Amino acid sequence: MSVPSPTVRTRLYDTVLKEHFARHRQMALVSGPRQVGKTTTCRMEGTEYLNWDNADDRRFILKGPGAVAERLSLGRLREQIPIVVFDELHKQPKWKAFLKGFFDVYGERSRVIVTGSSRLDVFRRGGDSLMGRYFLYRMHPYSVGECLRIEIPADVIQSPRPIGNEDWNALWNHGGFPEPFLRRDVRFSRRWRSLRHEQLIREDVRTVAQIETLGALETLSQILAERSAQQLIYSNLSQQVGVSVDTAKRWVDILERLHYGFVVRPWFANVTKALRKEPKWFLRDWSDIADPGQKAETFVACHLLKAVEGWTDLGLGAFELRYMRDKLKREVDFLVVRDRKPWFLVEVKSRDTGLSDALGYFQKATKAKHAFQAIMELPYVNADCFARNEPIVVPVRTLLSQLP
């Protein structure tokens, strides 16, 4: 039986880039995991394209901004200002200096998009040389919200909408990365995940760090794949992999920079006996997690991370994703912080087993406005979760439909 080609969908980030260049002269830096759709989206918006991985393009980039401008004929009169896409430019050791020079000289004659599979850390090993010259957009896989709308939100919370069962099942079973999500073929998804992991360990790691023992790093990545939604105990990781604690921390940071996963740190302000150090680890791709509870928590974590980073990137406020746990082992899975103040709590459950006592306790301690116990198995309810302030049981489908 033949497998149909993936459906082409306009994405939220297509709209974001269009609005960016309609309103701003600054460069757009687009960061995100490998194969999340960055190149496709950026090339659709761009008129010129240079890829560091292409030997011909690399030769011109190494010659400097002037050579690139000459190749792109930026000295010619044009009806519209060209939009230049630099792909994987972070692999060039002096990429920030190149961009600074290009933008300062040719910023009025062009618009610039920079994208790459690593986190674009403009503050690392280069000071603030790009300050004022860029806006960062962090790209994520498909989510419930993006399946429902691609408009840029005017406010942080949207009205609830029902997601179709086909999209919901595809998200849960195949993840949100565009190719497996749109193909919806189990064999393809399995092979896609394996190849992506191999490319990340064997190729992408070399672009951000000098690591001789890739085998040990691969072992660490496999351990972390089994521990999504669990606390990171670096001493245990170091013993299992056979490296120092400092090395284990550094390798986790590298995997986070390459978007293999992310950490969520505890919130402890004004909370008695709260944990301060131990972060929780989450994979970026929840689709292959075997344990239903870990998968559900990771599914929601990825949606919440997309929301807080998206709201922040769009200038709607400063948002963080945290979790709550104290020394008495009371815990709530997530806390969303808005402008340095706790905003809403989320406890994720596969089944409805009644409200968690910890939810009310931590809402009172943090003074968060909302507290949700989000249940995976509950059907969609057409009601605004954020209309209630007391701890409340809500369907995951409803809550996530109100986020980007």
CATH number at residue 42: 3.40.50.300
Q: Are residues 54 and 164 in the same domain?
A: no
From CA 305, how far away is CA 293, in angstroms rounded? 18
Q: Are residues 194 and 275 in the same domain?
A: yes
Residue 103 tokens, joined:
């933008």
pLDDT band at 213 (very low <50, low <70, confident <90, very high): confident
The whole-number average pLDDT for the span 301-317 is 97
**Directed axis angle between helix 12-23 and helix 38-45, to 10°?**
40
Average pLDDT along the chain: 93
Q: Report CA 268 to chain centroid distance, whole Å.
A: 24
Taking Cα atoms as reference points, which of 114, 132, 133, 131 lies closest to residue 123? 131
pLDDT on residue 6? 56
CA distances from 121 to 96, 219, 258, 289, 309 (A): 10, 26, 11, 29, 15
Q: What angle do CA 283, 288, 294 make, to 5 degrees?
A: 60
pLDDT band at 121 (very low <50, low <70, confident <90, very high): low
pLDDT band at 124 (very low <50, low <70, confident <90, very high): low
The whole-number average pLDDT for the span 235-243 is 95
CA distances from 379 to 28, 148, 162, 168, 249 (A): 39, 17, 10, 12, 40
In a domain, 4, yes or no: no
The whole-number average pLDDT for the span 19-36 is 96
pLDDT band at 288 (very low <50, low <70, confident <90, very high): very high
pLDDT band at 3 (very low <50, low <70, confident <90, very high): very low
E strand intervals along 55-110 = 83-87
Domain end position, chosen among 138, 173, 189: 138
Domain end position, chosen among 138, 173, 200: 138
Q: Are residues 252 and 287 in the same domain?
A: yes
In a domain, 3, yes or no: no
Q: Determine the 3-state secondary structure of 334 from DSSP.
A: strand
Provide the terminal-to-terminal Cα distance of the chain, rounded to the nearest Å.
36
Q: Are residues 172 and 102 in the same domain?
A: no
Do 230 and 293 meet the contact criterion of CB atoms below 8 Å apart? Answer: no
Number of folded domains that form the chain? 2
- Would residue 255 be called left, alpha or beta, if left means φ above 0 and alpha means ψ between -120 and 50 degrees? alpha
* pTM, full prediction: 0.94
In a domain, 5, yes or no: no
Q: What are phi and psi of 308, to 5 degrees?
A: -65, -40
Q: Are residues 221 and 302 in the same domain?
A: yes
pLDDT on residue 7? 62
In a domain, 34, yes or no: yes
The whole-number average pLDDT for the span 278-303 is 97
Please report which helix (H) or strand (E) contains residue 293, including its range: helix 292-313
In a domain, 368, yes or no: yes
Do 377 and 172 meet the contact criterion of CB atoms below 8 Å apart? Answer: no
- Would the pLDDT of 4 be above 50? no
The whole-number average pLDDT for the span 135-147 is 97
In a domain, 1, yes or no: no
Q: Print burial letters for 329-351: b (CB count within 10 Å at least 16), e (below 16).
A: ebbbbbbbbbeeebbbbbbbbee
- Would the pLDDT of 51 be above 60? yes
From CA 167, how far away is CA 173, in angstroms rounded? 10
CA distances from 156 to 264, 298, 317 (A): 21, 22, 9
Q: Are residues 261 and 119 in the same domain?
A: no
From CA 230, how far away is CA 228, in angstroms rounded? 5
Do 113 and 47 meet the contact criterion of CB atoms below 8 Å apart? Answer: no
Q: Are residues 157 and 285 in the same domain?
A: yes
In a domain, 201, yes or no: yes
Of 33-42, 120-129, 223-232, 381-390, which range is least confident? 120-129
Q: Using the 8-state DSSP alphabet, how is residue 386 labeled?
A: G
Of 3-12, 260-269, 387-396, which range is least confident? 3-12
* Percent with pLDDT over 70 in the chain: 96
Domain end position, chosen among 138, 173, 199: 138
- Would the pLDDT of 149 be above 70? yes
Residue 101 tokens, joined:
């020079």
pLDDT on residue 192? 97
Q: Are residues 17 and 49 in the same domain?
A: yes
From CA 285, how far away is CA 270, in angstroms rounded? 33
Q: Are residues 169 and 82 in the same domain?
A: no
Q: What length does the chain have?
A: 404
Do 24 and 17 meet the contact criterion of CB atoms below 8 Å apart? Answer: no
Do 284 and 176 meet the contact criterion of CB atoms below 8 Å apart? Answer: no
Q: Are residues 101 and 164 in the same domain?
A: no
State the residue range of the domain holding 58.
12-138
Q: Are residues 101 and 161 in the same domain?
A: no
From CA 82, how far away is CA 263, in angstroms rounded? 38
In a domain, 7, yes or no: no
The number of helices, as runs of H, and strands, as runs of E, in the chain is: 16, 13
Q: Are residues 166 and 48 in the same domain?
A: no
